[in-house]
Amino acid sequence: MRKRIVAGNWKMNLTFEEADELLDELMTELEQASLPRDAQVVVCPPFPFLEMTTDYANDSYFMVGAQNVSEREPGAYTGEVSAEMLKSCDVQFCIVGHSERRAYHGETDALVAAKVNRLLQNGLRPIVCVGEVLAEREEGRQLEVVGRQLSEGLFHLDASQMAGVVVAYEPVWAIGTGKTATPAQAQEIHAHIRSLLASRYGDATAQEVSILYGGSCKPSNAAELFGCADIDGGLIGGASLKAADFMAIVKAL
């Protein structure tokens, strides 16, 4: 059975003190929440807060993800962070291919594939983001774009590796804009992603992969989105920065 997952992507937000306060609130709220057995909560802070976050996670019900990783093996790469480093800090997940990294840092499908390999070699679970920009949706190319991102970023993996990957569908026009995809729009793409996984890996593997929705997901729309057959949770940006909002989304799982 695939997991239902809510992952918070803090992006480049919060100071150390603010992060500490948010983690403290999350820990308290998670202790009181009764979540379904197949639910997982993941918090993805910026690198400087990873150690503090894993300390909290040791005493709480959430897991920790990073927001980026180097595609290279450890060595002389100033400013980069290796998969080995993340693993040694007890990080279990890592976001790859986020649209902000694709847009501002030249993260291509080939780079996504290389980062996914480094993570899997180190036993970390990649959360791989795919999604079309507004112009591509207006041209009706969303299925083609997402299909290309999957096949070039992920389909070199074998079935057992693929089963360890989480896919996040994030229509770029919905990220941080307040415009959410309708449940029907999101479900259409999620079902398409699962059918592509099934054609490449077979139905059993396709059923194992959690596919999250991301893009202006908030307490008021989470339950409806997560109620769709192929939507297994969410990757949450803005609403993950307030404990009450994030927990309301977690409780919609």
Residues engaged in binding ligand PGA (CB under 6 A): 9, 170, 175-176, 214-217, 235-239
Place of tokens 């807060």: 49
Of 4, 67, 2, 11, give the one whose Cα is nearest residue 240. Answer: 11
Nearer to ligand PGA, 44 or 201 (CB): 44
Closer residue to ligand PGA in complex, CB, 8/201: 8
Q: How far is the CB of 174 from ligand PGA (least distance, A)?
A: 6
Pairwise CA distance, residues 92 & 50, whole Å: 11
* Pick 10 or 201: Cβ nearer ligand PGA: 10
**Whole-number minimum distance, CB 201 to ligand PGA, in Å?**
25
Is 170 annotated as catalytic?
yes
Q: Is 183 or 215 the residue whose CB approaches ligand PGA more closely?
A: 215
> Per the structure block, which two tokens stand in for 122?
């180190």
Alpha-helical segments (H) within 33-167? 50-58, 83-88, 99-104, 109-121, 134-138, 142-153, 159-162
144 annotated active-site: no
The catalytic position among 98, 132, 136, 208 is 98
We find the least distance from the C-beta atom of residue 234 to ligand PGA, in angstroms, to be: 8
Q: Which residue has the closest beta carbon to ligand PGA?
A: 237
Contacts of 32 (CB under 8 A, 6+ apart): none
For residue 208, give both structure tokens: 């194992």
Active-site residues, by number, are 98, 170
